[in-house]
Amino acid sequence: MSGLRRALAALGLLAFLVGALTAALILTSDHASPRGLLLALVLAAGWSFAFTGLYAWDRRPGNNIGLLMTAVGFTWFFQGLTASNNSWIFAIGVLGQTLPFAILVHLLVTFPSGRLHTRLQVVAVSLAYLATGPLQLVWALFTDPTAQSECTGCPENPVLLEPEGVAEVVNAFQVVGGCASIAIAIGLLYRNWRRSSATERRVLTPVLATGGTAFSILLVQLIAGELGASETFKSVAFVASVAIFACLPFAFLLGLLRSRIGRAEEVSTALTAENEQLTAELEAKVEELRASRHRIVEAGYAERRRVERDLHDGAQQRLMALTMTLRLAREKLDADPAASAELLDEAMEELSAATAELREFARGIHPVVLSDRGLAAALGGLAERSPVPVEIAAAPGERLPMPVESAAYFVVAESLTNVARYAGAELATVRVERRDGTLEVEVSDDGAGGADPDGGTGLRGLADRVAALDGSLAVRSPAGEGTTVEARIPCG
Amino acid sequence: MRVVVADDSTLLREGVVRLLEEAGLEVVGQAADAEDLLRKVRAHKPDVAVVDVRMPPTHTDEGLRAAREIRAELPEVSVLVLSQYVEVAYARELLAESAEGLGYLLKDRVADVGTLTEAVRRVGEGGSALDPEVVSQMLGRQRRDDPLAELTPREREVLGLMAEGRSNASIAAELVVSERAVEKHVTGIFAKLELTASGEDHRRVLAVLRFLDRDA
């Protein structure tokens, strides 16, 4: 469990205990009335705001909405404190009981981001806090609850100040400020809703509908209280507000969970995880690249050694033998012309063998027809020379970048050599096709299969050659089902 | 017979010139690249141009392109192309439309005086010369349902020599048989392969090559 979650759980427990305490105060109150309704209003709205707020806080830790909802829940219990028979607790309750409405205004006008952006938002929220904070304090100091008609049996104000008229003036400011704040808030909500897209409305509608109704009821209650409406009307409005305020936090929660705003932290956590994974993949790729680069360099050296050895063992030896044969022929020219002629014939045979050998050797290093005529012609040449029948099922007619053509050529050449050497096949099929910017090279045979894809430096070298072009090479060789070598080379 | 020789390697070019002159052919011009070759061919109008495939500036297939240009521009000039490698693709390209007065020979043949001069003469007379290597590669290509399987070994030999562009007389001399015997073989081969016989050697070459090439 994270630190935040532990703290939220503790707050949840605290909310429960505060709720239980206020319930006890209400049930033992000698002035609260109607007791049942007050209990229902305080507990239903207080707990639901606190718990849904904590839940929202947990789900969207980067967003203020959860915090504000929780604050509404806790401050809501101040109303419960006014049921206390103790004059100090009662006074604290009176002081704080209007605070949740200011926080509600704050909550509604900043939903769903939880942040104040525009001047109007600031005005609405400031007015709300002014009316419920400092003005409420002044009002509370100058008000004698025992003198009020709807507060029969309320405890005395422990710090009552004179003169009496101040409270009424302050109250007038509070009502005007509160009404203005609520009106601006309703206007802002409506404007937000009008401007929002269909997706955004999915988020805003539940909050705005419930919040708008709650504010309207609040407004009606405020005005009705000032105009001296009937007790029945006040009770109906009171019950309606109990219901609507209990619903409000769920509307917030629904809207918040639908919203994408405030997901920043969640997204950033996901991004961090993704980032770590990408980094790991990248490191693996770098390692693979380093290894393949090393092998390519190694292969280059190995190739040079092979060229050197082949030239030394082949052409050079033949030419040296030839020199000796010719020298012998020259020595015998006068004494034994017949033997000399024989030696010369021998020398010529030697020479044409050396020439043929050099030619094949040069072709193995680089097939001229590939650079001159492209893949199709070069593959045709490979097929002509293959000891196993080869069917060229497809070959690209157009020219491709030289490295791509070269890699494809050597994949086919090496694969056909393997087919001839190991597969015992009747037919090899070559298919080279360009598809979606990738050259697909496939050499399959109907031979014995069972080739080891990792075995042999030939295939490994091919894989590196293909990988150097960001391509891939795969070998499938189930025993008894032939072998398929498949290369995919990006070719733009 | 008048010949122009084109090869960017002086050593090889002079060797070829010497061999041809020894064989009684008249070398009227030498060129080191394709442009030079075309200029000399236009100026001298020789019977044969002997051309190396790879020449400056790109060292790829200048010779082949020059050969086609010469055949198109001056049909009376025959061309013998010498190539470092046996590439069936090049032979196919060169002989795509006609084999008349055209030859494609492996460069190694210059060492074999007889083969080179015979090929030059044959091409110069409007015939064809295809390198035995090219032919054996085409004949030897592994096929499924090989149509050549029906031929007797002797018939295969005759088919190969026909593909090289040899006349019946030349084939008879090579195989040490009578011309009549060669004619019999040729008829037999054409019947088995369901080809239409043709009197002229260079047309016969084309028919045989098309046949050998048909499922490549």
Question: A423 vs A429, which has greater pLDDT?
Answer: A429
Q: Is the pLDDT of residue A63 over 90?
A: no
Average pLDDT, integer, range A314-326 = 84
Q: Is the pLDDT of residue B41 over 70?
A: yes
Q: What pLDDT, on a 0 to 100 scale, did the predictor assign at position A265?
A: 54
Nearest-CA distance from B86 to chain A in Å? 9
Banded model confidence at residue A488, pLDDT cuts 50, 70, 90? very high
Residues in chain A: 492
Question: B52 vs A175, which has greater pLDDT?
Answer: B52
Please, how many CA atoms are within 13 Å of residue A9, restricted to the half-sphere of its CB?
6
The alpha carbon dihedral of A365, A368, A373, A379 has a sign of negative
Q: What pLDDT, on a 0 to 100 scale, did the predictor assign at position A486?
A: 94
Residue linked to tokens 């070998």: A475
CATH of A3-262, one of 1.10.10, 1.20.1070, 2.30.29, 2.60.40: 1.20.1070
Cα–Cα dist A16/B86, whole Å: 94
Banded model confidence at residue A262, pLDDT cuts 50, 70, 90? very low
> Exposure pattern of A174-192 as b/e (b: 16+ CB <10 Å)?
bbebbbebbebbbebbeeb
Banded model confidence at residue A453, pLDDT cuts 50, 70, 90? low
Determine which of B12, B64, B85, B106 to mutate to test the interface with A (most A C-beta atoms within 10 Å): B85
Q: What pLDDT, on a 0 to 100 scale, did the predictor assign at position B58?
A: 82
| Domain A368-490 belongs in CATH node 3.40.366.10 | no
Say how many C-beta atoms besides its own lie within 10 A of residue A356's C-beta. 13
Please, how many CA atoms are within 13 Å of residue A52, restricted to the half-sphere of its CB?
23
Query: % helix / strand / coil in chain B, to the nearest 5?
Result: 55, 15, 30
CB contact under 8 A, B89 and A369: yes
Paired tokens of A25: 């105060």
The residue type at A62: G
Q: Is the pLDDT of residue A490 over 90?
A: yes
Report the candidate in A43, A75, A68 with the shortest Cα–Cα distance to residue A54: A68
B138 contacts in chain A (CB < 8 Å)? 384
Cα–Cα dist A205/A225, whole Å: 29
Question: B183 vs B141, which has greater pLDDT?
Answer: B183
Cα–Cα dist A83/A154, whole Å: 8
Percent of chain A scoring above 70 in pLDDT? 94
Average pLDDT, integer, range B134-151 = 80
Average pLDDT, integer, range B87-102 = 85
Same fold for the pair B2-130 and B136-213: no
What are the extents of the domains in chain A? 3-262, 283-365, 368-490
CATH class of A283-365: mainly alpha
Q: Is the pLDDT of residue B128 over 70?
A: yes
Is residue A158 within 8 angstroms of chain B, CB to CB? Answer: no
Residue linked to tokens 């091919």: A462
Q: Is the pLDDT of residue A137 over 60?
A: yes
CATH of the domain spanning B136-213: 1.10.10.10
Helices (H), A97-164: 99-110, 119-132, 134-141
Q: Which residues share a beta bridge with B51? A: B6, B81
Element (H, E) at B78: strand B78-83
Question: A476 vs B195, which has greater pLDDT?
Answer: A476
What secondary structure does DSSP assign to B4-73, as a single string? Answer: EEE-S-HHHHHHHHHHHHHTT-EEEEEESSHHHHHHHHHHH--SEEEEES--TTTSSSHHHHHHHHHHHH
Nearest-CA distance from A444 to chain B in Å? 16
Report the candidate in B82, B68, B103, B71 with the shortest Cα–Cα distance to residue B15: B82
Banded model confidence at residue A260, pLDDT cuts 50, 70, 90? low
Question: Whole-prediction pTM value?
Answer: 0.54
Say how many C-beta atoms besides its own lie within 10 A of residue B81's C-beta. 27
Average pLDDT, chain A: 83
Q: Is the pLDDT of residue A1 over 60?
A: no
Q: How many degrees, rounded to 5, is the angle at CA A78 between CA A73 and CA A83?
A: 130
Paired tokens of B25: 């052919």
Q: Is the pLDDT of residue A350 over 90?
A: no
Phi then psi for residue A150, to 5 deg, are -85, 5
Average pLDDT, integer, range A262-291 = 77
The beta-carbon neighbor of B111 closest among A351, A378, A387 is: A351
The beta-carbon neighbor of B142 closest among A348, A356, A389 is: A389
The beta-carbon neighbor of B141 closest among A351, A373, A384 is: A384
Decide: B139 and B155 in contact? Cβ < 8 Å: no
Decide: B190 and B162 in contact? Cβ < 8 Å: no
CB contact under 8 A, B87 and A381: yes
Is residue A384 within 8 angstroms of chain B, CB to CB? Answer: yes
CATH of B2-130, one of 1.10.1760.20, 3.40.50.2300, 3.40.309.10, 3.40.50.300: 3.40.50.2300
User: Torsion over CA of A32, A37, A40 and A46, rounded to 10 degrees?
Assistant: -60
Rg (CA), chain B: 17
Banded model confidence at residue B185, pLDDT cuts 50, 70, 90? very high
Banded model confidence at residue A149, pLDDT cuts 50, 70, 90? low
Q: Is the pLDDT of residue A37 over 80?
A: no
CB contact under 8 A, A387 and B216: no
Task: Compute CA distances A59 → A56, A180, A398, whole Å.
Answer: 5, 33, 58
Banded model confidence at residue A150, pLDDT cuts 50, 70, 90? low
In the 8-state DSSP scheme, what is residue A117? Answer: -
Q: Using an 8 Å CB-CB cutoff, list residues of chain B that contact chain A.
A: 54, 60-61, 84-85, 87-90, 93, 108, 111-112, 137-138, 141-144, 216
Decide: A432 and A412 in contact? Cβ < 8 Å: yes
Q: What pLDDT, on a 0 to 100 scale, did the predictor assign at position B119?
A: 93
Average pLDDT, integer, range A189-214 = 78
Q: Is A97 exposed, middle or buried (0-12, 13-18, 19+ CB in 10 A)?
A: buried
pLDDT in tens, A95-117: 888 888 888 888 888 877 778 88
What are the extents of the domains in chain B? 2-130, 136-213
Decide: A81 and A92 in contact? Cβ < 8 Å: yes
Decide: A92 and A294 in contact? Cβ < 8 Å: no
Q: What pLDDT, on a 0 to 100 scale, did the predictor assign at position A432?
A: 96
Q: Which of A179-188, A231-240, A310-319 has the lowest mean pLDDT?
A: A231-240
